[in-house]
Amino acid sequence: MAHFTVIGLGRFGIAASLELIHLGHTVTGVDSNPKLAEKYVEHLSETVVCDSTDEAALKELDLANSEAVLVAIGEDMQSSILCTLALKNLAVKQIWVKAGTKAHHTIISKLGVTRIIHPEEEMGVRVAQALNYPMVNDYISLGNGLYVVEIHIKAHLQGMSLGVLLNDIKGVIDPLLVKRGKHTFVKLDHDFILHEHDALLLSGNRAKLKHIAPRLV
């Protein structure tokens, strides 16, 4: 379980917050609008009324305890940029920012944030999944709790066989294919050797995929 801070409790911000809660994490929701903060006080771990453009106010939030800070401020580009600058000045390491326009994206990209996203309400769930499983490049929900996830193989898994990787959950999580450069491998057996930068597609339920996640980081 990790702790996240979400700044801006509009449709996108609250969708990401609620999904992170659903995934077992704790979330501090921050908004300058007291009505929004009060609306979600029963749904989030904590809600705070705060001017997110005020560096001194943000400093009081103890953001060092957050795995990541998601700037989900809506249409107010100036507030989003000022908030991001304040977070950078406070040395927050993981900053994800919602960008509403191309101009917004261009400016934020100069600030050295971790990730820039262009979501609507339904994308909040996907961002939460990515925050929860940072090794997952993409995923598709098949319904009934089943997912197909794309994993990018890191250096520490170079030379490991699929059989070793899926040791105690083989048959519960199914390897579907491996993409390696221009080549695609679909006949994957126990002895198939993984290479760094491979894209591995796995299918399984959320609980089992979460169980294997620590091996992939």
| pLDDT one-digit tens code per residue, 14-35 | 989 998 998 889 999 999 999 9
Residue 94: band (very low, low, confident or very high) from pLDDT cuts 50, 70, 90? very high
Token pair of 186 as six digits:
């679909």
Q: Report which DSSP code applies to 193.
A: B
Over residues 155-176, mean pLDDT: 83
pLDDT in the model for residue 122: 45
Domain edges within the chain: 3-132, 136-216
Region at 98 (left for phi over 0; alpha for psi -120 to 50; beta for the rest): beta
What is the pLDDT of the chain when averaged over all its residues?
85
Taking CA atoms, 60 is separated from 18, 38, 54, 57, 85, in Å, by: 23, 19, 10, 5, 16
CA nearest to 165, candidates 154, 142, 141: 154
3-132 homologous superfamily: NAD(P)-binding Rossmann-like Domain (3.40.50.720)
What is the number of other CB atoms lying within 10 angstroms of the CB of residue 143?
A: 6
The answer as to CATH 3.40.1260.10 being correct for domain 136-216 is no
CB 132 within 8 A of CB 4: no
pLDDT in the model for residue 141: 67
Residue 165 to residue 194: CA distance in whole angstroms: 9
- pLDDT tens figures, 53-91: 999 999 999 898 999 999 999 678 999 999 999 999 999
Residue 167: band (very low, low, confident or very high) from pLDDT cuts 50, 70, 90? confident
